[in-house]
Amino acid sequence: MPPLVLGLALLLLVSVVCGVGLGAAGIGWAEVLRLLRAGLTGGTIEAGDVSAYAIVWEIRLPRVVLGAVVGAGLAAVGVAVQAMVRNALADPFVLGISSGAAVGANAVILLGAFAGLGVWALSLSAFGSALAAMALVYAVARSPHGLTPLRLVLTGTALAYGFEAVTTVMVFGAARGEAARSAMMWLLGSLGGATWAQVPLAAVTVAAGWAWLRLRAEALNALAMGDETSAALGVRPARLRRELFLVTAAVTGTVVAVSGAIGFVGLMVPHVVRMLVGADHRRVLAVAPLAGAVLLVWADLLSRLLLTPAELPVGVITAVVGVPAFLLLMRRGGYAFGGR
Amino acid sequence: MRLDIEDVTVETAGARLVEDIRLTADSGQFVGLVGPNGSGKSTLLRCVYRALRPAGGVVRLDGDDVHAMAPRAAARVLAALPQESSAEFDFTVAEVVAMGRLPHRDRTAASDREICAAAMNRTGVAHLADRGFLALSGGEKQRVLIARALAQQPRVLVLDEPTNHLDIAHQLDVLSLVRAGGLTVLAALHDLNLAAAHCDVLYVIAGGRAVASGAPHDVLQPALLAEVFGVRAHPVRHPETGAVQLLFDLLPPKTFQPTT
């Protein structure tokens, strides 16, 4: 197992360098590496390099780093949600989070809400509405027996339709060329707006969420076996599910606020990782975030390169790669869906 | 370790599922719960392994209220085989057994491995260690879950119909396995003859109440069985062991009352 983690970490490093080295503006590899080194070690660059330096350090690198953070976050949260609702087909968006966040984001994009917050309006509004959506799902799904998996999934799915309806009304009511396009971009997910300013908060939240999940890995194993089994093993299932809900809300809200609703990573990555290392959450949680980071860095790179100089939403790439891969895995047997 | 259930009552949505049940299992005793479907056996057991908090009454382990203990501390002395079986994540047998180590502190990977290997050897599932749990047969699954409970190194074991879906050889196998451990055992059992053969003490649960208790052959009397289970029982002696076995018929139709 450690070789796999090490290999993925190396692969992530290589992917980041590739993500920085490739792009619409043709900058040679030697140049890119020299500029990266100059930025890291504080070396000097020539006057002619300033625009290339800016592209590498101010445009590409934050975007690639943010992509890795978002991918890791989505994968980690995917593992958490699947254990929480005890269903390997769940992902963070099943709980209505992304559609909730979309309402807030589009209120900003289309209606100019929260203009007083300036450049932070979009992120904060998306984050706030993601949390509000989660709170609503939580309140509706709660029953005298705590949060049961089925109620969570059904409530999340039902409310997601409601949130989507609100978004649609906004798009229809306010769409003006560029704004509608930007709303679309956001709904499918994009890292096009990445800046360094977004990285620290997202990175810290994802890292903290991941660390917390790794501490609870064994309890997640018990939870995946059933609430009664968990109770008999000294885990409080209702409380653990509440905590998972909060962590999921915080990480997903943060991630969605900076990247929009990127689908399939949270669903696919945990699946593929389980096929590689088995179901034990101690191993799944060690590997899945790294795999998610690698996947998203490459998906984002493709989204930039395929139609250069135009960009596809990265969610389109994850879906194009994800759907066939998913179907292939499902047909290949050897993987238990609800039993056999 | 001694287990005491003191006047436990469970209510859900106004209905009393369990009412004032008192039960004692002395250290090392095998105590059985028998009763018709829906009589409250599983509900009572859930209160013991802490999946459910009773509305009234106390469950004590050597005098300590289990619902006041820290969850992990309770799980270090009491293990359970609930009836549920999740079929979503395909853990290997070794991983399922390793979950039994979860409540323990001061453990190392090496000691965990050793304890789990010993548990798997005792229940005869060591050769299945790398197999997927979901693909096992009912009997194999049950032995794996018992191995998990043993890996928990408990002193009290709670079993909810551990012989369900098992063929007769596996039923006997599972119960003698549990019996051989020397633990205090509280088990809900469907088969009255199995219960009579393996339990030191039997409690008969009907309508959420304990209606009889004592040594199996004292408790399983035809009059009580007619009352509680609605069957006519004929006690006969096992020709070799001499244990009392029961043969059953439906009660004659005249005793059925129209329900309207």
Per-residue pLDDT tens over the stretch B50-95: 999 999 999 999 999 999 999 999 999 999 999 876 667 889 999 9
Q: Which pLDDT does position A337 carry in this prediction?
A: 45
CB < 8 Å to B152, chain A: 233
Contact A231 B51 (CB under 8 A): yes
What would the mean pLDDT of A61-77 be, rounded to a whole number?
94
β-bridge pairing B156-160 and B15-25: unpaired
Contact B71 A235 (CB under 8 A): yes
Return the C-alpha torsion angle A221, A225, A230, A231, nearest 10. Answer: 180
Partner A contacted by B146 (CB < 8 A): no
Delineate the domains of chain A, giving CATH numbers in brackets: 2-331 (1.10.3470.10)
Query: Residue A338: pLDDT band by 50, 70, 90 thresholds?
Result: very low
End-to-end CA distance of chain A: 26
- Give the rounded distance of the alpha carbon of B149 from its chain centre: 12
Contacts of A90 (CB under 8 A, 6+ apart): A81, A82, A84, A153, A267
Q: Tell me the nearest-neighbour CA distance from A129 into chain B, angstroms.
A: 31
Q: Compare all CA atoms of chain B with the CA of A225 and give the residue at the minimum distance.
A: B86
Look at residue B129 and tell me if it is in a domain. yes
What would the mean pLDDT of B226-238 be, rounded to a whole number?
88
Q: Which pLDDT does position B258 carry in this prediction?
A: 59
Nearest to A35 by CA among A13, A19, A24, A51: A51
Q: Compare all CA atoms of chain A with the CA of B71 and give the residue at the minimum distance.
A: A234
| Closest Cβ–Cβ partner in B49, B73, B91 for A232 | B49
Partner B contacted by A336 (CB < 8 A): yes
Token pair in block for residue A276: 């590689």
Look at residue B52 and tell me if it is in a domain. yes
| Closest Cβ–Cβ partner in B73, B88, B90 for A86 | B88
Q: What is the pLDDT of residues A300-309, one digit of tens each?
A: 999 888 887 7
Partner A contacted by B250 (CB < 8 A): no
SS3 content of chain A, % helix, strand, coil (to 5): 80, 0, 20
Partner B contacted by A219 (CB < 8 A): yes
Contact A234 B51 (CB under 8 A): no
Q: What is the pLDDT of residues A223-252, one digit of tens each?
A: 999 889 999 999 999 899 889 988 888 888
- Who wins on pLDDT, B75 or B238? B75
CB < 8 Å to A227, chain B: 51, 84
Contact A88 B88 (CB under 8 A): yes
Partner A contacted by B158 (CB < 8 A): yes
Q: What is the pLDDT of residues B133-150, one digit of tens each?
A: 988 988 889 889 999 999
ipTM of the complex: 0.89
Q: What is the pLDDT of residues A112-124, one digit of tens each?
A: 777 676 667 777 8
| Closest Cβ–Cβ partner in B46, B90, B152 for A279 | B90
Q: What is the pLDDT of residues A153-192, one digit of tens each?
A: 888 889 988 998 888 888 877 756 777 777 777 778 888 8
Residue corresponding to tokens 């934050």 = A62
Q: Which pLDDT does position A44 carry in this prediction?
A: 75
Report how far residue B21's alpha carbon sits from residue B44's, in angstroms, rounded to the nearest whole number. Answer: 8
State the CB neighbour count (10 A cutoff) for residue A174: 16
Q: How many domains does chain B have?
A: 1
Look at residue B168 and tell me if it is in a domain. yes
Q: Which pLDDT does position A339 carry in this prediction?
A: 41
Look at residue B212 and tell me if it is in a domain. yes
A-to-B residue pairs, Cβ atoms closer than 8 angstroms: 101
Contact A233 B99 (CB under 8 A): yes
| Closest Cβ–Cβ partner in B51, B83, B134 for A339 | B134
Q: Tell me the nearest-neighbour CA distance from A217 into chain B, angstroms.
A: 10
Report how far residue B167's alpha carbon sits from residue A288's, in angstroms, rounded to the nearest whole number. Answer: 41
Q: Tell me the nearest-neighbour CA distance from A200 into chain B, angstroms.
A: 34
State the CB neighbour count (10 A cutoff) for residue A108: 22
Average pLDDT, chain A: 84
What CATH code is carried by the domain that includes residue B105?
3.40.50.300
Query: pTM here?
Result: 0.87
Asked whether residue A15 carries a pLDDT value surpassing 60, the answer given is yes
Q: Which pLDDT does position A22 carry in this prediction?
A: 83
Asked whether residue B257 carries a pLDDT value surpassing 70, the answer given is no
Look at residue B216 and tell me if it is in a domain. yes
Q: Compare all CA atoms of chain A with the CA of B156 and give the residue at the minimum distance.
A: A232
Partner A contacted by B89 (CB < 8 A): yes
CB < 8 Å to A226, chain B: 82, 84-86
Domain range for B58: 3-220
Look at residue B54 and tell me if it is in a domain. yes
Look at residue B140 and tell me if it is in a domain. yes
Asked if omega into B103 is within 30° of 0 (cis), the reply is no
